[in-house]
Amino acid sequence: MDDYDPGLSLPPAAKDAGCHGGRETLVAAARAAGSGASMDRLLTDYPRGPHDQPQSMCPAFGSLRVGLRMRRVATILSGSACCVYGLSFTSRFYGARRSVGYVPFNSESLVRGQLFEDIRDAVSETADPANYDAVVVINLCVPTASGVPLDLLPKQINGVRVIGIDVPGFGVPTHAEAKDVLAGAMLRAARAEIEAGPVQRPRGAQSDQPTVAMVGEMFPADPMVAGGLLAPLGLGVAPPTPAREWRDLYGALDCAVVAAIHPFYTAAFREFTTAGRPIVASGPVGAAATETWLTSIAAAAGVPQSRLDAALDASLPALRAVLAANPIRARMTLSGYEGSELLVARLLVEAGAELPYVGTACPATDWTEADRIWLEARGVHVQFRASLEQDLQAMRVVRPDLAIGTTPVVQKAKEQGIPAIYYTNMVSGRPLLGVPGIGAMAQIVHAQTNGRERFARMVSFFGAPPTAAIPASAAKGA
pLDDT, residue 3, reads: 44
Residues 315 and 400 reside in one and the same domain: no
**Helices 175-196 and 60-68: crossing angle, nearest 10°?**
50
Residues 22 and 162 reside in one and the same domain: yes
User: Is 70 exceeded by the pLDDT of residue 463?
Assistant: no
Confidence of residue 358 (pLDDT cuts 50, 70, 90): very high
pLDDT, residue 470, reads: 42
pLDDT, residue 23, reads: 72
pLDDT, residue 1, reads: 35
Distance CA 363, CA 180 (A): 13
> 3-class DSSP state for residue 214?
strand
Task: Using the 3D structure, point to which of 291, 321, 351 is the last residue of a domain.
Answer: 321
Asked whether 173 and 29 are in contact (CB, 8 A), the reply is no
Residue 293 falls within a domain, yes or no? yes
The predicted model gives 61-86 an average pLDDT of 94
User: Is 70 exceeded by the pLDDT of residue 21?
Assistant: no
Residues 353 and 258 reside in one and the same domain: no
Distance CA 11, CA 153 (A): 21
Amino acid at 478: A
Confidence of residue 51 (pLDDT cuts 50, 70, 90): low
Determine phi and psi for 184, rounding to 5 degrees.
-65, -40
Residues 304 and 234 reside in one and the same domain: yes
Distance CA 173, CA 408 (A): 18
pLDDT, residue 471, reads: 44
Which residues are 334's β-sheet partners? 358, 404
Residues 350 and 423 reside in one and the same domain: yes
Asked whether 421 and 443 are in contact (CB, 8 A), the reply is no
Q: Is the omega angle on the peptide bond into residue 408 within 30 degrees of 0, that is, cis?
A: no
DSSP state of 215: B
CATH code for the domain in which residue 248 is found? 3.40.50.1980
Name the most confidently modeled range: 17-21, 53-57, 383-387.
383-387
User: Is 70 exceeded by the pLDDT of residue 214?
Assistant: yes
Residue 179 falls within a domain, yes or no? no
Of 235-244, 251-260, 464-473, the poorest mean pLDDT is in 464-473
Mean pLDDT of the chain: 89
Residues 457 and 378 reside in one and the same domain: yes
pLDDT, residue 225, reads: 97
Residue 429 falls within a domain, yes or no? yes
- The model's pLDDT over 304-357, given as tens digits with 9 standing for 90+, comes to 999 999 999 999 999 999 999 999 999 999 999 999 999 999 999 999 999 999
User: Is 70 exceeded by the pLDDT of residue 116?
Assistant: yes
User: Is 60 exceeded by the pLDDT of residue 476?
Assistant: no
pLDDT, residue 466, reads: 53
pLDDT, residue 16, reads: 45
Residues found in the chain: 478
pLDDT, residue 139, reads: 96
pLDDT, residue 53, reads: 56
Residue 197 falls within a domain, yes or no? no
Confidence of residue 8 (pLDDT cuts 50, 70, 90): very low
pLDDT, residue 15, reads: 44
Residues 48 and 158 reside in one and the same domain: yes
Residue 181 falls within a domain, yes or no? no
- The model's pLDDT over 267-300, given as tens digits with 9 standing for 90+, comes to 999 999 999 999 999 999 999 999 999 999 999 9
Residues 272 and 369 reside in one and the same domain: no
Confidence of residue 93 (pLDDT cuts 50, 70, 90): confident
Residue 477 falls within a domain, yes or no? no
Its domain, for residue 437, covers: 327-462
Per the structure, how many domains does the chain have? 3
Strand pairing category for 279-280 and 354-360: unpaired
pLDDT, residue 240, reads: 96
- What percent of the chain has a predicted confidence (pLDDT) above 90? 73
Of the two residues 237 and 459, the one the predictor is more confident about is 237
Confidence of residue 363 (pLDDT cuts 50, 70, 90): very high
User: Is 90 exceeded by the pLDDT of residue 263?
Assistant: yes
Residues 316 and 344 reside in one and the same domain: no
Residue 6 falls within a domain, yes or no? no
Residues 349 and 439 reside in one and the same domain: yes
- The model's pLDDT over 399-440, given as tens digits with 9 standing for 90+, comes to 999 999 999 999 999 888 899 999 988 999 999 999 999 999
- Sign (positive/negative) of CA torsion 151, 153, 154, 158? negative
Q: What is the pTM of this model?
A: 0.88
Residue 59 falls within a domain, yes or no? yes
Task: Using the 3D structure, point to which of 321, 336, 351 is the last residue of a domain.
Answer: 321
Task: Using the 3D structure, point to which of 297, 321, 345 is the last residue of a domain.
Answer: 321
Confidence of residue 106 (pLDDT cuts 50, 70, 90): confident
Residues 302 and 231 reside in one and the same domain: yes
pLDDT, residue 372, reads: 98
pLDDT, residue 464, reads: 57
* Alpha-helical runs (H) found in 326-380: 341-350, 369-376
- The model's pLDDT over 153-204, given as tens digits with 9 standing for 90+, comes to 999 999 999 999 999 988 999 999 999 999 999 999 999 999 999 999 888 7
Residues 47 and 111 reside in one and the same domain: yes
- The model's pLDDT over 25-48, given as tens digits with 9 standing for 90+, comes to 888 888 888 888 888 888 899 988
Distance CA 164, CA 152 (A): 9
